[in-house]
Structure 1
Amino acid sequence: MKRRTSFKKNAGAALALAFLSLTISCSDDNMPNVEPQQKTIAAIVSDNSSYSLLKSAVVKADLAETLSGTGPFTVFAPNNEAFMASGITQEAINSMAAADLKDLLLYHTLTSKVTAANVPAGPNAEVTSANGDKLYLTKDSRGVFVNGWKVTSADMAASNGVIHAVERVLMPPKGTIVQMAQANANLTYLVAAVLRASQGSTNVAQVLSAEGNLTVFAPSNQAFIDAGFPTIASIQSADPDTLASILTYHVLAARAFSSDLSNGQSLTTVNGGTLMVALGSQATVKGNGNEMPSVITSFNMLATNGVIHLIDRVLLP
């Protein structure tokens, strides 16, 4: 009798356990799938140590509240490595005026949600950023590019939009090609050459200031010195038409970011000549009259009427 009673107790317990398991299982099946709540763009940047420089800039620019708002926004976000590669340190951020930082960060922002799949193919499709300046987007088999710089990680979802990591800080244009050259201490020889060339039959300064889309491969001061112009005075005494022929050989009648250049590409300049591009451990461009190619030392300096690439050798037709 004791054995039978024990058997009944065990059977009853097993039946109760099975019923409880079935009840829980049915209850779980009926529960809705609740997605974890996404963070805002500001919170994602704040919580990621790789974006500490961007966070510092956002805080100083007083944009944390904006990027925590409803949006939606798209932010092209440079991480710490991108800031450093662009020459912008924490000290540089500290020294910038809050208004300038705000303008810079809003240039990285769109006032709509644009995932990588919805980026226009372009090339260089023009969109307006939150600060009112233009960004140029390209999507192809290599990925997404903004002003020539690659998106290194796309579609980080936020509750108020999306973040795309980009490999450099995007610098808004600060003037025409001529104005940007005048503001660059490493291009004083080029500016002198443009002014001297404009005294001949071709007004090169007017060409480089005109509205439109241009690309200029801009030789550094040292490049002019190496080409036989040891001083600015030597440039000012050169034949204007000879200088004009050389300078217009450095200009393309289209905007060509680094993302638009390919290995072995032939480029036609505004004076009718051709340049040859080579992409390897370094990016180079070579003129027909050059024994050695010129190294492109700095890319994608955006102007209101085009883009500038710095080079270390004067290109010869």
Structure 2
Amino acid sequence: MKSRLFAALPILLSLKSLLLISCLFLWSCDGTDDASTIIPGNTVTQVVREQASISTFSDALNRTAVNAALNSQNTRFTVFAPNNEAFSIYLQANGYSTLEQVPAAELQTLVNYHIGLGRYLAERLDSARLISTLGDARLSVYNTNNTISINGAAEVVQADFEARNGVVHILNRVLTPPTQTISGFIASRPSSEIPEFTLLQAAIERAGLTALLSSNSQSYTLFAPTDAAFTAAGYTSPEDIENEDPAVLQNILAYHLLPGYRFSFAFQNQEVTTRQGSRVRIDANNKTIKGLGNPEAASIIAAEQDVLAINGIVHAIDQVLLPE
């Protein structure tokens, strides 16, 4: 059945995918190059095909509708291509023996997530840069001691295979596309799972922040208090949350939001301004965060840190942060 899915892939592609590919020919680059200028040489598809170490990724491109788009003369791409070893690890971890066993829709989403819009040579892959992808998601770049990492999960092991319509970088891991927004992750969390976020979900709804944390137009890092943290702060049940003034909850929750993607490995010892407007103190060494009104710092729960969402990052913490 799965093999037949691949045979029928051109028919199974969604209208959204087809429209996206069509739109790429009208999409303008980020200003690095003049998209109307044809640069001699191979396209990014041809560059990928020539590299033996990423032949599995090349096969993945061939099984999707992306190849045609990547041959465009009018768009610039940055392709983050996992090497063959990375794909072997991915296939094994997900219960597949071969690439052909990966469902068509899953493979399409996976490939799209590895193709950035715009041309970014290694010298432009600086820390905290966000790169939009073909899959309508974003990649977060960090550059530490000349080691470039993507989403804190994969490193660039070979860089700058230049093409006339972009550049290819080789990764040592396959990137896993996020499937939920911050709001969606909190809402879908089973109440039996530890740490629990039942009270946080109630607070988000009561404060009217569901739309904000569901939007892909802005990215945030949410320090998410557990149910135990809310209980210690005096909110012992959803009823307590419902009886609270929404403005109070909105003020508190905004104090738990930082702009952008903040992975724990990239923390620095510093004070950072929150969406609420006041600052919190981050201790990178101890992985803690302290509010102005907290006598002690809250600890980030190691088992639930760096949760990647479509629109940001979630870190579970063991206290509610208080602005005053």
Q: Does TM, normalized by the shorter one, top 0.5?
A: yes
Measured at CA, do residues 44 and 206 of structure 1 come closer, stay the same or move farther in structure 2, by a change above 3 Å?
Answer: closer
How does 1:186-201 map onto structure 2 within 5 Å?
A: 186-196=196-206, 198=207
Shift of 1:295: 1.1
Residues 1:224 and 2:230 aligned together: yes
Whole-angstrom CA distance in 2 between matches of 1:194 and 1:148: 27
How does 1:37-48 map onto structure 2 within 5 Å?
A: 40=49, 43-45=52-54
Q: 1:275 matched to which residue of 2?
A: 280
Shift of 1:275: 1.4
CA contact (8 A) 1:83 1:169 kept: no
Residues 1:298 and 2:305 aligned together: yes
CA contact (8 A) 2:280 2:290 kept: yes
The unaligned stretches of length 5 or more in structure 2 are 1-46, 191-195
Whole-angstrom CA distance in 2 between matches of 1:78 and 1:279: 32
CA contact (8 A) 1:295 1:312 kept: yes
Q: What's the secondary structure of 1:106's corresponding residue?
A: helix
CA contact (8 A) 1:226 1:313 kept: no
Q: What's the secondary structure of 1:40's corresponding residue?
A: helix
Out of 87, 91, 97, the position equivalent to 2:95 is 91
Q: What's the secondary structure of 1:189's corresponding residue?
A: helix
Whole-angstrom CA distance in 2 between matches of 1:206 and 1:39: 39
Q: What's the secondary structure of 2:305's corresponding residue?
A: strand
How does 1:228-307 map onto structure 2 within 5 Å?
A: 228-252=234-258, 254-258=259-263, 261-280=266-285, 283-288=287-292, 289-296=294-301, 297-299=304-306, 301-304=308-311, 307=312
CA contact (8 A) 1:172 1:302 kept: yes
1:249-284 CA distances to partner (integer Å, 9 max, x unpaired)? 1012x213227943311111222322111223x533
CA contact (8 A) 1:40 1:158 kept: no
Measured at CA, do residues 222 and 112 of structure 1 come closer, stay the same or move farther in structure 2, by a change above 3 Å?
Answer: same
Residues 1:134 and 2:138 aligned together: yes
Whole-angstrom CA distance in 2 between matches of 1:81 and 1:301: 19
Which amino acid in the other structure matches residue 309 of structure 1?
Answer: V
Q: 1:23 matched to which residue of 2?
A: none
Whole-angstrom CA distance in 2 between matches of 1:171 and 1:90: 14
CA contact (8 A) 2:113 2:175 kept: no
Whole-angstrom CA distance in 2 between matches of 1:312 and 1:70: 46
Measured at CA, do residues 225 and 81 of structure 1 come closer, stay the same or move farther in structure 2, by a change above 3 Å?
Answer: farther
Q: 1:8 matched to which residue of 2?
A: none
Whole-angstrom CA distance in 2 between matches of 1:213 and 1:170: 18
Measured at CA, do residues 293 and 128 of structure 1 come closer, stay the same or move farther in structure 2, by a change above 3 Å?
Answer: closer
Shift of 1:127: 3.2
Q: Structure 1 segments of 4 or more deviating over 6 A?
A: 69-73, 78-84, 92-96, 158-161
CA contact (8 A) 2:78 2:118 kept: yes
Measured at CA, do residues 80 and 285 of structure 1 come closer, stay the same or move farther in structure 2, by a change above 3 Å?
Answer: farther
Whole-angstrom CA distance in 2 between matches of 1:82 and 1:193: 40
Shift of 1:135: 2.8
Shift of 1:73: 6.5
The unaligned stretches of length 5 or more in structure 1 are 1-37, 47-54
Work out which of the two has the higher radius of gyration on C-alpha atoms and give 1 or 2. 1
Measured at CA, do residues 111 and 221 of structure 1 come closer, stay the same or move farther in structure 2, by a change above 3 Å?
Answer: same
CA contact (8 A) 1:61 1:101 kept: no
How high is the TM-score relative to the length of structure 2?
A: 0.59
Which amino acid in the other structure matches residue 151 of structure 1?
Answer: E
Q: 1:312 matched to which residue of 2?
A: 317
Residues 1:183 and 2:183 aligned together: no
CA RMSD of aligned residues (A): 4.5
How high is the TM-score relative to the length of structure 1?
A: 0.60
CA contact (8 A) 1:248 1:269 kept: yes
Shift of 1:76: 4.4
Whole-angstrom CA distance in 2 between matches of 1:138 and 1:132: 20
How does 1:127-166 map onto structure 2 within 5 Å?
A: 127-139=131-143, 141-149=145-153, 151=155, 153-155=157-159, 162-165=168-171
Whole-angstrom CA distance in 2 between matches of 1:206 and 1:112: 29
Whole-angstrom CA distance in 2 between matches of 1:41 and 1:259: 37
CA contact (8 A) 1:227 1:313 kept: no
